[in-house]
Amino acid sequence: MHPSVAQTPGAQAHVAEDRHIALICAKGGLDECYPALILANAARASGIEASIFFTFFGLDVITESKVDHLHVNLAGNPSSPVPTVVAGLPGMERLASTLMLQRMKQLDLPSAREMITMLSGAGCKLYACELAMKMFGLTETDLLPEVDGVLTAEDFYEVTVGAQIVFT
C-alpha cells in the first residue's frame, strides 16, 4: 500500500482500483472448498473484485442438493489427526464431518450455503464449469440461484482478463 495513500484520511486506503482475484474451486470437501470462499469474501470486503469458478467436485458447493451435505474425509491426508487405516472405516467420514461442523458453529463460521449467499450479495461472480456439469449430468436448474453463469475454460479466461487466478 502506498504510504501517501494510507496516510491521507480521505483516501480509499485499500487497494488499486482495478485489482481482480479469480479463484478456482475444484474440490468439494467441507475443508477443501472453504479457502476459495473465504478468500473471495475477504477480497470483496477489501474492495477487490472477485470471481469463483467451480469445477469438478467444487460443483457440489453450488449444487442445490449437495451444498448442505458437504463432507470431510481425513483418509489419505498426511495432516490428518487420524491415521488413514482408521479414517477409512465406515462412519468415520460422517463423524469427522459432524465434528468439523460443530467446531464451525462454535466459531460462528457461516455454512457453505450462507457463504455463497454472502458472496453473491457482495458482488462476487460465481461460475460453474460447463464440462464438469456435463460429466455429472447437471443442468442449470440443479444449481443455486446465486450462480451467475455456466462457462467453459475459455470463457473463464475471457471474463478474468487482468485478474490474478488462484487455484484452490
Chain contacts with other proteins (rule: CB under 8 A) = 1, 3-4, 6-14, 18, 20, 38, 41-42, 44-47, 49, 109-110, 117-118, 120-123, 125, 140-141, 145-151, 155, 158-159, 161-162
Nearer Cβ to other proteins, position 74 or 151?
151
Q: How far is the CB of 12 from other proteins (least distance, A)?
A: 7
Nearer Cβ to other proteins, position 12 or 106?
12
- Residue 147 burial (CB < 10 Å; 0-12/13-18/19+)? buried
Residue 41 in grid coordinates: 469474501
Q: How far is the CB of 110 from other proteins (least distance, A)?
A: 6
| Rounded CA separation 166/36 (Å) | 9
Nearer Cβ to other proteins, position 31 or 146?
146
Q: How far is the CB of 81 from other proteins (least distance, A)?
A: 22
CA-wise closest residue to 160 among 109, 132, 125:
125
- Given strand 149-151, what is the order of strands in its sheet? 149-151, 125-129, 49-54, 20-25, 164-167
Q: How far is the CB of 95 from other proteins (least distance, A)?
A: 25
| Rounded CA separation 28/93 (Å) | 14
CA-wise closest residue to 159 among 10, 24, 13, 16:
24
Q: How far is the CB of 140 from other proteins (least distance, A)?
A: 7
Nearer Cβ to other proteins, position 77 or 120?
120
| Rounded CA separation 160/123 (Å) | 15
